[in-house]
Amino acid sequence: MRYLPLTPDDRAQMLGVIGAPDIDALFVDVPASARRAALFDLPLHAGELEVERELTGLAARNRAAGDGPFFCGAGAYRHHVPASVDHLIQRSEFLTSYTPYQPEIAQGTLQVLFEFQTQVAALTGLDVANASMYDGSTACAEAVMMSQRVTRREKAILSGGLHPHYAAVTQTIAHAEGMTIVRQAAAIDAEADVIAAIDAETACVVVQTPNVFGVVTDVTAIAQAAHAAGALLIVVTTEAVSFGLLKSPGEMGADIAVAEGQSIGNALNYGGPYVGLFTCREALVRQMPGRLCGETVDAQGRRGYVLTLSTREQHIRREKATSNICTNSGLCALAFSIHMSLLGEVGLRQLAALNHSRARELTAALDGVVEVLTPRFFNEIAVRVPPGLAGGDAAALVDELLADGILAGVPYSRLAPGAGMDDVLLLAATETTTTQDIAALAAALKRRLGQ
Amino acid sequence: MTLTSVGRPTRPHPAISEGHASLTGGRGLLQDEPLLFELGGWDKTGVDLPAAEHDASDLGGLLRTTPIGLPGLSEPETLRHYVRLSQMNHAIDLALYPLGSCTMKHNPRLNEKLARLAGFADLHPLQPVSTAQGALELIDRLAHWLKTLTGMPAVAMTPKAGAHGELCGLLTIRAAHEAAGHGHRRRVLVPTSAHGTNPATAAFVGYSVQEIAQTADGRVDLADLAAKLGPDVAAIMVTNPNTCGLFEREVIEIARVAHASGAYFYCDGANFNAIVGRVRPGDLGVDAMHINLHKTFSTPHGGGGPGAGPVVLSAALAPFAPAPWIVHGPAGLTLVEDARDEAAAAFGRMCAFQGQMGMFVRAYAYMRSHGADGLRQVAEDAVLNANYVKARLSAEMTPAFPDGPCMHEALFDDSWLEGCGITTLDFAKAMIDEGFHPMTMYFPLVVHGAMLIEPTETESRRELDRFCDALLALARAAKAGDTERFTGAPYLAPLRRLDETMAARKPKLAWRPEPTTVAPAPLAAE
């Protein structure tokens, strides 16, 4: 077995040093009824070639995003990741190191985390970022629970523009901790309904921009209304590239901003691993979940970095911790940070502008074909599927267009069945979307409409 | 002084180990690397993008009006920056990484290659399931392996790490209690030796936590457990093998008394590596257990994550598992994504999408590579290596539980350091100078000055001996009064000991521009 260095001779000699007659003597504490002498009913070991053959076969049964025109978004976005990003994250010293608990021999990871935190804080326009969460949805749930600790109130209002999965995760996790979660009805411009729901029991308001229908909103007025009621504003972003073009959450008055960072540096990966971004105002830092990296000095006065404010965390505070999170998304955060370093301010702005431009191109191509529902968008739009297309069923239309080799976006009903929006289709365009892709989609739709 | 054949001393010149300073801060291959923000240019980028054809005038007042404050680097500068930083990290590819409870084993590179196949990596979580049958098939096969290896009938695949799996497990248990009209069961019993995530998770779901005492031989005190069980106890959370590196001999009885009182048995599966392929948790009475794929099944830890924490479930708990899950249908595999319609019992959703696919590919490739026979050997070699380290180090150090074998971890206390004037921390820091990562320290909390060593099965005997020789030499030096070697350690790492108190007292959590730094240009030019 190629991953096991001990030889039979090693094993025999080592048992001798231990003073055990055989390996079974080391498992003597296992109750006899639970000791299994026979091998499990699973295949035996396999060589690299055989394993590669099986998994390559499975991979070949999937239609990769890059195989043709592709318009899926809804919380996960296909972007081009520079080759150097994936090369660097496979450096042994990054890939095969543990959480940096011994700072003297983990300065590489720690400096990266410090740089990552600084980048994320800058992008969101807030003061402090943590060293990452699992993904955007769990970061959202953690932000809601943090608002309970900050305000000592129990009610969270989730805008109807929040990604339904994020709302479901928040409802599952924050409700378990005793919060009341108010989910507002889904609507294209749902943010308009938020202010009226804020009251004196409200711990936080959760608003997504661009929202799940792609709508970009200036949430400054919502921030003011929340603050006037003593509540926090949590701004959610599922497309991190949008920070390059749009007003940041901090600029609009957010107290906490959370985002899915997958778009920068990370592949689609069928849903994970991704990287949750979590930032807040400085005054709230001691209620934050997750690891934080901070600057300090060593015994000779040289600058260095350590994990800090650990008294918030489970390994120190146990049941009084701000969160139970331990393992996070370190390597995905590294990929994010490297990609962001390559982009820089100039590149990110260009990338964001290019994404918006492609979405405008898409919108223009669909003009007169389907109704575009999103009034102000970044790189994603919602369109209404007319009765003349797949009976007005967005999911059926997506299935139909597979025959043309097109992955035509995400039907909203996939995210929220039964919401009465079966005719709503979400379409995203990024820098990876070509003019030809857009033309192919428009042509396929027109052909079905007899245009 | 001993000289080599070319007349040079075979030991480093004292001036080097005593802090000889270079003129620039560089040290041989180690560069003194500034922060990105001190290196990068506000007008520099390492990507070439085409110009946008349409402007953003349609967004008007929604556009950013202030600079972000992000420096950029060209590609060669980027490579230098991160390669230089990488050289300041310890890694499993460099040397044994004996962190107890963390299972730092070799990460096969085949798995990295396979996870990057476009058919897995370039796959959108919401594309039609008919276009992702291979991905669903892989998840389904992985689930079959996990269920077979644990002897459990069901598995929830979506939790993204161990603690997330614990949360999933407790939410499942909570849902089961509520469905049975037992919502009043809100107390969780956790041994004193438990991982911090256990009580933190219990509190996270609104449960109160009570500790179970430990016996002198490092196991759950059954009498104390029985006394604390009651009609308000929702679950017990027990790690097995436990955090002392010992198998809970009475685990079947533990499960029996818990069940008899109406509580569920949650097992923390962080230490599954010790028993994989040999013992099925399902045979021990476990109702739910998370499996850290990044430990037992070797997905790389990446400096802190990502991991994956699927939770295997008993038949009683299975109906309450969260969405989404895979079902076999006439047209192949499909996903049930909306728990409300399909099964009212499901407690909700743990995360957006289907979980850690990238980790699933790696873990499945690892399992297929080992097979039933190799996985059994994994457990045996992991346990053998730990017992070998325990036997060798016992010559100078004091095992916390000397009687009987340990499982995959060897636990020592600090009684052997008494009178040496050094602490567990000092000893661990001196290991760094010898080229090793320290073991887990001061955990579990039940052992004074604990040193928890987990070598894993992927260490050769030569590396184990190198490690044991180094620790024994250090132990002898400690006893011989060579105190400074420890109290000032590390001397030879990229940095000396860091001031953690200062970091926490006045937290500096992001780089801020000095007043003299040239600020990025305003956006007016666009």
pLDDT single digits (tens) A207-235: 999 999 999 999 999 999 999 999 999 99
DSSP state letter for B34: P
The pLDDT value given to residue B340: 65
**Which residues of chain A does B72 touch, with a Cβ-Cβ cutoff of 8 Å?**
341-347
| C-alpha–C-alpha distance, residues B396 and B304, integer Å | 33
ipTM above 0.90, yes or no: yes
Least Cα separation, residue B7 to chain A (angstroms):
33
Single-letter amino acid code for the residue at B477: A
Are the beta carbons of A31 and B45 separated by less than 8 Å?
Answer: no
Residue recorded with tokens 């005997």: B461
pLDDT along chain B (526 residues), means of 10: 44 49 84 93 95 95 94 98 97 96 96 98 98 98 98 98 96 96 97 92 93 95 98 97 96 98 97 97 98 96 96 97 94 87 80 97 98 98 98 98 97 97 97 97 94 98 98 98 96 95 94 67 43
Query: Among B49, B78, B122, whose Cβ lies nearest the Cβ of A64?
Result: B122
Are the beta carbons of B137 and A40 separated by less than 8 Å?
Answer: no
Nearest residue of A to residue B100 by CA position? A98
The pLDDT value given to residue B524: 40
Least Cα separation, residue A338 to chain B (angstroms):
7
Residues sharing a CB contact under 8 Å with residue B37, sequence separation 6 or more, in sequence order: A115, A118, B71, B511, B513
Least Cα separation, residue B465 to chain A (angstroms):
11
Nearest residue of B to residue A5 by CA position? B460
**Beta-bridge partners for B264:** B235
pTM: 0.96
Least Cα separation, residue A16 to chain B (angstroms):
9
On the question of pLDDT at A321 being above 50, the answer is: yes
**Which residues of chain B does A376 touch, with a Cβ-Cβ cutoff of 8 Å?**
58-59, 62
The pLDDT value given to residue B516: 56
Averaged pLDDT of chain A: 97
Are the beta carbons of B145 and A414 separated by less than 8 Å?
Answer: no
Q: Per-residue pLDDT averaged across A173-179, rounded? A: 86
Percentage of residues in chain A having pLDDT higher than 90:
95
**Which residues of chain B does A36 touch, with a Cβ-Cβ cutoff of 8 Å?**
278-280, 283
Task: Name the B residues in 461-480 with CB < 8 Å from any A CB.
Answer: 461, 463
B9 touches A: beta carbon within 8 Å = no
Are the beta carbons of A248 and B46 separated by less than 8 Å?
Answer: no
The pLDDT value given to residue B7: 43
Q: What is the DSSP string of B210-277?
A: EEEPB-TTSSB-HHHHHHH--TTEEEEEEESS-TTS---TTHHHHHHHHHHTT-EEEEEGGGGGGTTT
- b/e burial code for range A260-289 (CB count within 10 A of at least 16 → b): bbbbbbbbbbbbbbbbbbbbbbeebbebbb
Q: What is the DSSP string of A256-301?
A: EEEEE-TTTT---GGG-S--EEEEE-GGGGGG--S-EEEEEEBTTS
Least Cα separation, residue A231 to chain B (angstroms):
22
* B110, A2 contact by CB (below 8 A): no
**Which residues of chain A does B116 touch, with a Cβ-Cβ cutoff of 8 Å?**
86, 267
Query: Among A107, A115, A272, whose Cβ lies nearest the Cβ of B88?
Result: A107
Q: Retrieve residue B357's tokens.
A: 């696919």
User: What are the φ/ψ torsions at residue B140 (nearest 5 degrees)?
Assistant: -65, -40
Band (A320; pLDDT cuts 50, 70, 90) = confident
The pLDDT value given to residue B12: 45
Query: Among A74, A334, A351, whose Cβ lies nearest the Cβ of B303?
Result: A334
On the question of pLDDT at A133 being above 50, the answer is: yes
Query: Among A169, A243, A344, whose Cβ lies nearest the Cβ of B351?
Result: A169
**Which residues of chain B does A363 touch, with a Cβ-Cβ cutoff of 8 Å?**
none
A57 closest CA partner among B155, B359, B331, B368: B368
Query: Which of A134, A162, A348, A424 to mutate against chain B (most B CBs within 10 Å)?
Result: A134
Q: Per-residue pLDDT averaged across A172-190, rounded? A: 92
Are the beta carbons of B322 and A172 separated by less than 8 Å?
Answer: yes
The pLDDT value given to residue B6: 44
**Which residues of chain A does B460 touch, with a Cβ-Cβ cutoff of 8 Å?**
5-6, 10
A·B CB contacts under 8 A = 731
Band (A253; pLDDT cuts 50, 70, 90) = very high
Are the beta carbons of B458 and A3 separated by less than 8 Å?
Answer: yes
Domains parsed from chain A with CATH numbers: 65-80+345-449 (3.90.1150.10), 83-339 (3.40.640.10)
Single-letter amino acid code for the residue at B48: D
B497 touches A: beta carbon within 8 Å = yes
Query: Which of A324, A363, A404, A438 to mutate against chain B (most B CBs within 10 Å)?
Result: A324
B89 touches A: beta carbon within 8 Å = yes
- Our measurement of the distance from residue B305's CA atom to the centroid of its chain's CA atoms, rounded to an integer in Å, reads 7
Are the beta carbons of B91 and A97 separated by less than 8 Å?
Answer: yes
Residue recorded with tokens 């990741």: A81
